[in-house]
Amino acid sequence: MTRNRYKVSKRQWAKWTEEGRRLFNDLYGVMRDQDLFSHPKAERRPREHWDTTRWNAAWMAADLVSR
């Protein structure tokens, strides 16, 4: 069973498959380094803004694989 490392709401966590849960954890974790996902000449986003972007990306990915 996949651990809810990033404190997704229990209700949402229960809706995702194991694959979706793993994907959320993995993608949210790897996106910590915004340099991997941004153009080299782009300004860095404030941490709070980037955290929202990575949360939303991981959430959408988990939704897609849990269909």
Domain of residue 29, residue span: 10-65
In the chain, the number of structural domains is 1
Position 42 scores a pLDDT of 95
Q: Which of 14, 48, 53 is nearest to 37 (CA)?
A: 53
Summarize the confidence of residues 1-19 as an average pLDDT. Answer: 98
- The span from the CA of 57 to the CA of 25, in Å, is 11
In this prediction, residues 11-22 reach a mean pLDDT of: 98
pLDDT in tens, 27-43: 999 999 999 999 999 99
Q: What percent of the chain has pLDDT over 90?
A: 100
Measure Cα distances from 48 to 2, 33, 54 in Å. 26, 13, 10
Nearest to 36 by CA among 21, 57, 6: 57
Give the C-alpha separation, 28 to 60, whole Å.
Answer: 11
The answer to whether residue 37 sits within a structural domain is yes
Assigned domain for 4 exists: no
CA dist., res. 21 & res. 50, Å (int): 21
5 falls within a domain: no
Mean pLDDT of the chain: 97
Q: What is the pTM of this model?
A: 0.94
